[in-house]
Structure 1
Amino acid sequence: MSGRNINGEGSVYQRKDGRWVAAAYVPVVGGSVRRQALYAKTRAEASELLDRAEKHIPVAPTSLTVAGYLDEWLIHVRQHVRATTWEAYERNVRLYLIPRIGRKKLTRLTVRDVRLMIDALRAEGIGARTIQYVHATLRAALEHAYREELVSRN
């Protein structure tokens, strides 16, 4: 048997700049499949990324922003919560979340981004309880994204 991978199996290789690449065909949240290259510092890290792809864990569309996801989430959640809860979610998304982190790619949102947003809200004099509600809204939306496998962690 040769050392070549079977078609569609994926591969791990090192670039000239020293980074390792794990390339594989992965399912996209919509049903299709696309080739994705993920970068790592070591071969072991790249192999772990390839293992994730081989387990057919869907990846989020790379163009999906936090604002786009929150708009989609609000439409979905409207039929599952009370009207007053939805109104509070919509207000928090419109007034606080989208203006501050809406342009960020959903898959690139970090804990640091959320912390900086909360710090900015405090600096603007927004009340502690309002900040708590804004954070709860974001947490609920990201939990839904996690369940749909759009993000790897909440």
Structure 2
Amino acid sequence: MGTPGLFKQCGCRDTITRRRLRTRCPRIGERGHGAWYYRCYIRDMLGKPVQISHGGYPTRAEARQARTAVQAESREQYAGHTWTIARWLTYWLTTRTSIRLTRHAIYTRHVRQFPIPAIGHLRLTDLTSRHLTAMFAELAAGTTPAGSPRSSATLQRIRAALRAAYNAAIREGMITDNPARRVEMPAGRRPQAVVWTEGRVEDWHTDGVRPGVAVWTPAQLIEFLDFAADDPLYPL
């Protein structure tokens, strides 16, 4: 029981305080009483030291074997099956520095509004195409805050963000598969045409979001025709 990093503990409680005795149990040396645990330190993907403690093993040999397996992993591999999807997506968004600010804002909004609440609790390596199929089916059946059907373009943008995030995790050596490549997207509903109002134009300039089908107002059409008449690229 004196092997460094390996220890035994149980769930017995003090008769007075009701606190768990763990390693202080007088029966801890008995064969078959309690379980074996290991404790070790590794560096996480960001280079910071992390203490790992895990247990429930019936023998010391099994606890030692599990510790050896963890220590043999690269820090990227360890992060792949310990980081949640929410943690990775949040980190990944901070690395997206080479794209336009409007696209980054769209990615951020879509990721925080949809995948993180739906699948963010899962570990990176636990995600399957079945999880994504269920998530997209639920999103397709829902509506926007304005009450209109959610467009297939929005679903495709969410999928594109997930594919990009998982491809980045593959490049980092955290995972080996991208389930977002295989997900079957629900059939999109035909978008309903809306008027290209000043409010929608302002939203488009702010965050890049626009209706699937929008109709110009007469004033907007006149403005375009006036512009085209003065522009040599648009001969009328």
**Range into which the TM-score falls when normalised by the shorter chain:** 0.5 to 0.7
Unpaired runs of 5+ residues, structure 1, are 1-26, 35-53
Q: Could you tell me the percent identity over the aligned residues?
A: 33
Distance apart, 1:68 and its partner CA:
0.4
Letter matched to residue 120 of structure 1: E
Inter-partner Cα distance in structure 1 for 2:153 and 2:114: 13
Q: How many residues align?
A: 116
Letter matched to residue 147 of structure 1: R
Give the TM-score normalised by structure 2.
Answer: 0.42
- Correspondent of 1:139 among 153, 163, 181: 163
Q: Residue by residue, what CA displacement relative to the aligned partner does 1:47-95 show, whole Å, maximum 9, x if unpaired?
A: xxxxxxx897951423310000000000111x11110110010011111
* Correspondence 1:98 to 2:122: no
Letter matched to residue 146 of structure 1: I
Inter-partner Cα distance in structure 2 for 1:69 and 1:56: 17
Inter-partner Cα distance in structure 1 for 2:169 and 2:128: 14
Structure 2 counterpart of 1:8: none
Between the two structures, name the one with larger relative contact order (CA 8 Å, sep ≥ 6).
Answer: 1
- Correspondent of 1:82 among 81, 84, 100: 100
Q: Does the CA-based 8 Å contact 1:65-1:106 persist in structure 2?
A: yes
Structure 1 counterpart of 2:190: none
* Correspondence 1:69 to 2:88: yes
Query: Which stretch shows the higher mean deviation, 85-94 or 121-130?
Result: 121-130
Q: Does the CA-based 8 Å contact 1:28-1:59 persist in structure 2?
A: no
Q: Give the alignment's Cα RMSD to 1 decimal.
A: 3.1
Quick one: structure 1 residues 101 and 123, their matched pair in 2 at CA, closer, same or farther if it must change by over 3 Å? same
* Correspondence 1:116 to 2:140: no
Letter matched to residue 72 of structure 1: Y
Letter matched to residue 142 of structure 1: Y
Distance apart, 1:97 and its partner CA:
1.1
Inter-partner Cα distance in structure 2 for 1:56 and 1:63: 12
- Choose 1 or 2 for highest CA Rg: 2
Inter-partner Cα distance in structure 2 for 1:103 and 1:65: 6
Quick one: structure 1 residues 122 and 148, their matched pair in 2 at CA, closer, same or farther if it must change by over 3 Å? same
Q: Does the CA-based 8 Å contact 1:60-1:107 persist in structure 2?
A: no
Q: Equivalent residue of 2:163, what SS? A: helix
Quick one: structure 1 residues 60 and 127, their matched pair in 2 at CA, closer, same or farther if it must change by over 3 Å? farther
Q: Does the CA-based 8 Å contact 1:118-1:131 persist in structure 2?
A: yes
